[in-house]
Structure 1
Amino acid sequence: MPMNRPAAAALAAALCLLTAGCGSSSGDDKASDTTTEAAASKTGYPVTLTNCGRTETFKKAPSRVVVMNGASVAEVSALLSLGLKDKIVANQQTYGASEVPGRAAEIKALPTGDIKQNDAFDIPREAMLGLRPDLVLSTTSYGYDEKNGFATRDQLKQVGANSYVSPQGCDQDTSKMTIADSYQLLRDMGKVFGVSDKAEKLIADSEKNIAAVAAKVKNEKKPNVMVLFSNMSMGGNDFSSVVAQGIYNDILAKAGGANAFENASTTSFADLSKEKVAATSIDALVVIGYNDPNPAAYAQKLLKEFPQWPAAKNKTYVTLSDSMYLGPSNDLAVQKIATMLHPAAR
C-alpha cells in the first residue's frame, strides 16, 4: 500500500538532501564529535555542549522542547526512552510504526503544537518562535536553514532557546553514521536533561544485546542483503531509495549480513535501475516502512518481481521501521535481522 503523498514527499526531500550531502565529513565538524562539559555543582548545571562548532549552555533542564520533522524519529524516541515526554511541547516526527512496543502510540499522543508545516515539510520560523521553546532538536542542520523558512540557531538563541543537531547531521551527510552515533545522541540528551545514569543504562543494555548477537553469528557466512524504503521514490530510476552507506551497514554487519549495494554509491542512498537490481543476487530483504501501513506487501511484491533471487525462493525478508535508523533501539534491528539471516544462531 503506498504511503500518503505528504509523508512520502517529506522523506524523499530529506533523504535526497542527505544523499547529496554538503561535502565530505570532517572530524572537527560533526555532531558525533560532540564534547560535553558540566560544571561541578550539586544540580549538575550549567551544562555546556559543543555542537556543530557552536557552544550551547544549559542553565537548567529544558522544559519546552520542540522536535522538528527531519524525516526521522531519532530525537523524539531518544526523549521518550529517557522518560522525558512531559518536556515536549511540539513534536513533528513519526514513522507510524516502531519495533518498541507502544512507542508508535506514545509518539502519536504527543502534542504537535498545532503547527502547519511549510513547503519544506517542517516548522516555519514564526510558528517556531511562537511555541516559545527553550530547546529545539533537529536531525540535521537543514532544520535551521533560513532559506527554507526555518528559524536559524542564532534567531532561536535571541529568544532564549538552545538548539541541537543530532550526530552526523552538521554537514547533512549521514553516510558515515554508525550505531555509536545513536549512543552519542542518548548520551548528549542524558547530560542536557540531567538523566545521564538512565542514558548510560540504555547504552550499556544495547551494547550487551548487540554483542551477544554478534558473537553468535561471528563465524557465519554473510548473506547479501538489500535494504530499501517501501513505496518510496527519490530519483530517476526504479529503485532510488536503496541504502548504500550509513548506520544501516553497521547494523547489518552486527547481524551477520552484508549490504549488496554498499559499493553502488558513496552517499547514503543509491539510485538504481531495475536491470542493476535484477542482476544482483539478493539473499534477503530488509524493508523499512516510513508511515507505510503495509511494508510487508511491498516486500512480497519485490520477491515476486525478482523470482531469480535466493530471497524470493526462500521468502527471506523482514520489515522494520525506527530501529534501522539513528535512535535508541538499534539493538532490536540487529536481533531481528540476525534471526532472519541465521535462524540456527538464535
Structure 2
Amino acid sequence: MSKNRSVAAVLAGALCLVTAGCAGSSNGTASDKASVSASGSGYPVTVTNCGQTETFAKAPGRVVVMNGGSVAEVSTLLALGLGDRIVANEQTYGMSEVAGRAKAIKALPAGDIELNDAGDIPSETMLSLRPDFVLSVTAYGFDAQNGFATRRQLRTVGANSYVSPQGCDDDPSRMTISDSYTLLRDMGKIFDVSARAEQLIAASEKSIAAVSAKVKGEKKSKVMVLFAGTSMDNDTFEWVAAKGIFNDILAKAGGTNVFESASRTVFADLSKEKVAATDVDALVVLGAGSPDPTAYAKQLLKEFPQWPAAKNNTYTVLSDSIYLGPSNDLAVDRIARMLHPDAF
C-alpha cells in the first residue's frame, strides 16, 4: 500500500464518534464528489458517489466496513446508533478521545476474516459475507487489481457501496471538517436517521464556534503534527502533517501548521536539520496504533530543547478526533486549550 493510500486511510477518518455530544462535523454542504437525494421522505434514496449512482430501497441491514487504516466510517455509524447493522468491521485504533468508543468498536463483529496483503478484505471473502452495503475509505478498496470486490461485483449480489469524502481521487490534502459533516449527513440519509445526523452536526458546529470565539484575536501558535513512532535515530522525519483536515482543525483552535508549505500532499518527509531549525510552539502527536504516544511526545521535546514547545512543555496526544469523523470538535477544543489556556 502506498504512503498516500495509507494516509487517506488514516484520515478518513475518518476518525469519529459514539456519543451525540461528541460529533465533529461540516458546514452542511454536500461534497462535489458525493451527494444524496431522496424522493420526499423515506425510500428509495439515491446516492451519487464517485461518479456512480447507488439506489437504496431500504435501510441497509448487513453492513461491512473496510479497514483502510480509518475509524471514521465505523465511528460515524456508531454515532448514528447503527452498530447493530454491522456484520463485519475491520477498523480499529484501540484508542479514542470519546469515552467508550474504542470499547464499542472492539465489541463489533470482525467476521473472522483473513485480510490480504493490503490489510483489507479480499474479493471472495467480501462476497461471502453477503453484505448489502460496503463502506470504503477510498476508491482503492473497490479496485480489482488490488484483489478487492469491485462496486459492480457488489451490485450483482445486491450490495450498495460508498467511498468516503475526498476518497474518490485518493487525495485527502483538500479534506476539511466539512467532509466529516458530509459523511454524517450521507449516512443519515441512507439509513433514514437524518434527524440524528443533523443533531450531531449542529452540536459539533456549536462547540467549534464557541471555542473559536474564545481564541479569536490570540496570536497563532505554530504547531507541528506528526505520528508517534517516527524514528529519531536517522536523519529524516516521516509522516509530518502538512495539508488536509489537520490544518482546518488547527485554524479553528487558534493555531497554524508550521510545516504547511513543506509538502503538496498530506504528509511530508523532513530532515532532522529542518525540524531542529524550525520554531515549534506546540506539538500534536497522533497516537493511532502507537503503544505509547505520550512517551514519544516527551522524547521528541527532549530531543529538541530549543523549541518553544519544549521550553513550555506544550504538547497533546490525539487519536481519532483529528481525522475525518464526527468528533472533530473534541480535537479543536483540546488543541485550543493547549495553545491558549488563558482563554478558557
Q: TM-score, normalised on structure 1?
A: 0.90
1:45 aligned to 29, 43, 46, which one? 43
Identical amino acids, percent of aligned pairs = 69
**How far 1:96 moved relative to its partner?**
1.0
Contact 2:33 2:168 in 1 (8 A): no
Aligned-partner Cα distance in 2 for 1:172–1:321 = 21
Paired amino acid for 2:114? K
Paired amino acid for 2:168? C
Contact 1:32 1:168 in 2 (8 A): no
Contact 2:5 2:170 in 1 (8 A): no
Aligned-partner Cα distance in 1 for 2:83–2:186 = 16
Aligned-partner Cα distance in 2 for 1:108–1:18 = 18
Aligned-partner Cα distance in 2 for 1:126–1:341 = 49
1:124 aligned to 122, 125, 130, which one? 122
Contact 1:255 1:334 in 2 (8 A): yes
Match of 2:297? 299
**Structure 1: unaligned runs, 5 residues or longer:** 1-9, 20-29
**Structure 2: unaligned runs, 5 residues or longer:** 11-29
Q: 1:104 to 1:12 in 2, by over 3 A?
A: farther
**Is 2:208 the partner of 1:210?**
yes
**How far 1:293 moved relative to its partner?**
2.6
Q: 1:137 to 1:85 in 2, by over 3 A?
A: same
1:283-298 matches, cutoff 5 A: 283-298=281-296
1:1-346 matches, cutoff 5 A: 14-15=5-6, 32-40=32-40, 44-232=42-230, 238-346=236-344
**How far 1:148 moved relative to its partner?**
1.0
Q: 1:68 to 1:144 in 2, by over 3 A?
A: same
Computed over aligned residues only, the root mean square deviation of the Cα atoms, in angstroms, reads 1.8
**How far 1:17 moved relative to its partner?**
6.9
**How far 1:36 moved relative to its partner?**
1.5
Contact 1:18 1:172 in 2 (8 A): no
Aligned-partner Cα distance in 2 for 1:324–1:206 = 13
Contact 1:89 1:113 in 2 (8 A): yes
Contact 2:238 2:269 in 1 (8 A): yes
Contact 1:303 1:315 in 2 (8 A): yes
Aligned-partner Cα distance in 2 for 1:17–1:291 = 15
Aligned-partner Cα distance in 2 for 1:252–1:32 = 24
Aligned pair count?
323
**How far 1:15 moved relative to its partner?**
2.8
Paired amino acid for 2:61? S
Contact 1:217 1:256 in 2 (8 A): yes
Higher RCO, 1 or 2 (CA under 8 Å, sep at least 6)? 2
Aligned-partner Cα distance in 2 for 1:170–1:306 = 39
Measured against aligned partners, the alpha-carbon deviations of 1:58-109 in whole angstroms (never above 9, x if no partner) come to 0000000000011110000000000000000000001110001000000011
Aligned-partner Cα distance in 1 for 2:172–2:189 = 23
* Secondary structure in 1 matching 2:212: helix
**How far 1:34 moved relative to its partner?**
1.9
* Secondary structure in 1 matching 2:332: helix
Aligned-partner Cα distance in 2 for 1:318–1:149 = 38
Aligned-partner Cα distance in 2 for 1:86–1:147 = 32
Contact 2:7 2:266 in 1 (8 A): no
Aligned-partner Cα distance in 2 for 1:284–1:39 = 49
**How far 1:240 moved relative to its partner?**
1.1
Contact 1:230 1:298 in 2 (8 A): yes
Aligned-partner Cα distance in 1 for 2:6–2:117 = 16
Aligned-partner Cα distance in 1 for 2:86–2:177 = 25
* Secondary structure in 1 matching 2:284: strand
